[in-house]
Amino acid sequence: MGAFVAIVFVVTVVQSLSDPLAAVMQGDVVWDYRIPFGVVIALVVAGCAAQSALLLLSPRFPVIAVLGAAGCYLALVAGLDIPRWLVALPLVVGVAMFFLAAQRRPSVAALWTGTVIVASVGVLALWSTSTGAPAAVAWSFVLSSGIAFAAPVAGGAALGVWWARRVRGLRRARADVAAAAAEQEAELERARLRERARIAQELHDVAGQHLAGLLSLADAAVDIDVLDAAQAATLIAEMRAEGRFASASLYAALRDLRAESDARAEPTLDLRSLDDLLAYWSSRGMNVVTRVHAAVDDLPAMVSTTAYRVVQEALTNACKHAPGAAVSVDVRVSPTSIRVAVGNEAGRTSAASDLPTGLGWGLTGMAERVDLLHGSLTAGPVSTGGWAVIMEAPLTAHEPSAPVLTT
């Protein structure tokens, strides 16, 4: 602001004194004013300095800056009788009005603009008529000087109003950008949390399955005859394979956690892979009876994936909590809905009671998956002493199904 004020001061001084000083240097001026020429020059410079300095008040006291700048101009005109020298000074008033309009409402800026113009033109008219000049000359001066004063002042006010609107628009845009950036950051954080939850669920669904199989094989190893070396070797080999599968699942989850933004998780399995899942558990000694009453190849991806996860979790729980029990898997698909039921008889051993109950993600995770489909999930004991898990879900999100509890 100080540099700007200095520039305004230099420009106004040069503009005000260039013509009289050039005339003096050429010897074309006969000075017969009541005030010596040197004093007039000094007063003009002082007036320009005062008017420019008042602009420093514009950021905090714009009204004082406008009134002071206009007062300096009128004082020089009326006090020195040299209005033609001072044509640059109304521009400074216009600059001060720009700062006022940029900080006030448009209506307030318009009021101050009109007030300053009317008051200044009135002072010029009073001074002009008081000089004793003919009326035509006096009013001609008032008209020309009034226009020369009003134009920069009104222009400065209009420019200030426009600038204020642009600044407000820029501030709103910055606020919108900041809000959008904050929302994007929040969405990224939510996405990270969802991805971590997905990885945790994958660990539970996949690694948990293999760990349950490993424990099932360990239970079988306890019951075999220690002299049956071939059977023991087979069980050990299968246990090693299960350990490798579990290790691979853990590695895949850790890889996802470390992955960059371009990394993609492995595709999730669905009911088209149901035969492989059942074959896996059958090879571990589980007696599984499966009934699939319709084709599952063309099911919606989310429905098929969720149904597969429900079967996978239910079989894993059956292995952990009812080892050796017969298990049934029933899948029914209608044109509008799907029903998946997994039930097991009571376990023949109590070894599972000593197993850890897990992280608590099983039923909760399944319920959350099914809820996204507007479906229902029920799980609980049945009258035969076993356990049943039933999922029902519409094939579209607009057909919610009613929960059915197996007893």
Q: Is residue 381 one of the residues assigned to a domain?
A: yes
Range of the domain at 299: 267-407
282 lies in the same domain as 166: no
Single out the residue in 180, 200, 215 at which a domain terminates.
Answer: 180
pLDDT at position 359, please? 38
- Reference 326, options 279, 283, 354, 285; nearest CA is 285
CATH number, domain of 337, equals 3.30.565.10
- Neighbour-count burial for 358-386, b at 16+ CB within 10 Å, e otherwise: eeebbeebbbebbeebebbbbbeeeeeeb
The structural domain count of the chain equals 2
Residue 347 lies in a domain: yes
In a shared domain, residues 176 and 303: no
Is residue 209, in this structure, part of any structural domain at all? no
The pTM (predicted TM-score) of the whole model is 0.48
Ranges of the chain whose pLDDT falls below 50: 260-263, 265, 350-361, 398-407
> What strands, in cross-sheet order, belong to the sheet with 337-344?
288-292, 327-333, 337-344, 387-394, 376-381
Pick from 149, 180, 211: which residue ends a domain? 180
Task: Indicate whether 159 and 275 sit together in one domain.
Answer: no
My answer on whether 130 and 276 are in the same domain is no
**What mean pLDDT value characterizes the chain?**
79
The rounded distance, in Å, linking the Cα atoms of 314 and 199 is 19
Token code pair at residue 107: 């209506």
pLDDT value, residue 222 = 61
Residue 310 maps to a domain: yes
Q: Is residue 378 part of a domain?
A: yes
120 and 6: one domain?
A: yes
In a domain, 198, yes or no: no
Q: How many residues does the chain have?
A: 407
Predicted pLDDT at 14: 86
Residue 196 lies in a domain: no
Q: Return the biggest CA–CA distance within the chain.
A: 138
End position of a domain, from candidates 136, 159, 180: 180
Domain check: are 16 and 120 in the same one?
yes
Name residue, tokens 């001072």.
86
**What is the end-to-end Cα distance of the chain in Å, rounded?**
84
With respect to residue 260, please indicate whether it lies within any of the assigned structural domains.
no
Same domain, 79 and 174: yes
